[in-house]
Amino acid sequence: MHQHLRLLAGALATVSVAGVITGCTATHATTAREGTETFVLRTDSAASNPDYAVTASGVFSATGTFPGIGNGQDQSLAKFPDGIFVVTHPVKDEKTTYQSVNSKTCRATFDQKGTFTVAKGTRAYKGITGYGTFTADSAGTLPREHDGKCDASQNAQPVKGSTHTVITAKGSILLPPS
């Protein structure tokens, strides 16, 4: 009988440990997260295809990079420490909302707006989906021509160190359970 009690106690202990392990696994699984996400991209590069530093806040918070925004393509890669995802921003849908050149200072400003979607995530962003709108505010100082006027030609390169661009994108994001 004593042997039978030990076997029963051992079996109960095994079932209890299995229950605790199962319970821990269930409580650590993440649930879907959905809501508003804001991405703020910044660069001071005058390159036609610069890398942007990005800060994300909302459904998830992270910092990373967006290489290749502004290259005339419809997709960019968002790179964060916990994974990557693709941002699609159709160039044909982007609209210039403001453009000017101050003739005294040669300071040029350019504002744009458009739409984006997110998908094709890896690791922490696997299954990510979403959409939203963005605004882009850019400024830089144009060089002067020989006659002292601002060189606003298509080939004019901004004065080194004078450019600054901020893109603010806001939208609805869904991250499925991991």
Same domain for 60 and 5: no
Same domain for 144 and 121: yes
Q: What does the pLDDT read at residue 91?
A: 82
Q: What does the pLDDT read at residue 147?
A: 93
Q: What is the mean pLDDT of residues 52-76?
A: 87
Same domain for 87 and 17: no
Q: What is the mean pLDDT of residues 37-49?
A: 91
Same domain for 75 and 139: yes
pTM of the model: 0.79
Q: What is the pLDDT of residues 118-175, one digit of tens each?
A: 999 999 999 999 999 999 999 999 999 999 999 999 888 999 999 999 999 999 999 9
Number of domains in the chain: 2
Bridge-based pairing of strands 51-57 and 62-67 is antiparallel
Phi, psi of 21 (to 5 degrees): -65, -45
Same domain for 38 and 24: no
The SS3 call for residue 27 is helix
Same domain for 8 and 63: no
Which residues in 11-38 are b (16+ Cβ under 10 Å) and which e?
eeeeeeeeeeeeeeeeeeeeeebeeebe
Same domain for 102 and 14: no
For every residue of 70-135, DSSP letters joined together read TSS-SEEEEEETTEEEEEE--GGG-EEEEEEE-TTT-EEEEEEEEEEEEE---GGGTT-EEEEEEE
Same domain for 166 and 120: yes
Q: What is the pLDDT of residues 91-119, one digit of tens each?
A: 888 999 999 999 999 999 999 999 999 99
Vertex 144 angle, CA 138 and 149, to 5°: 100
pLDDT greater than 60 at residue 26: no
Same domain for 90 and 17: no
Same domain for 135 and 105: yes
Helix (H) or strand (E) segment spanning residue 40:
strand 33-43
Domain membership of residue 2 as a residue range: 1-30
Q: What is the mean pLDDT of residues 3-8?
A: 32
Same domain for 103 and 47: yes
Q: Considering the chain, what percentage of its residues have pLDDT values greater than 90? A: 65
The SS3 call for residue 51 is strand
Q: Mean pLDDT check: name the lowest of 6-15, 57-66, 156-165.
A: 6-15
Q: What is the pLDDT of residues 122-137, one digit of tens each?
A: 999 999 999 999 999 9
Same domain for 77 and 16: no
pLDDT greater than 60 at residue 71: no
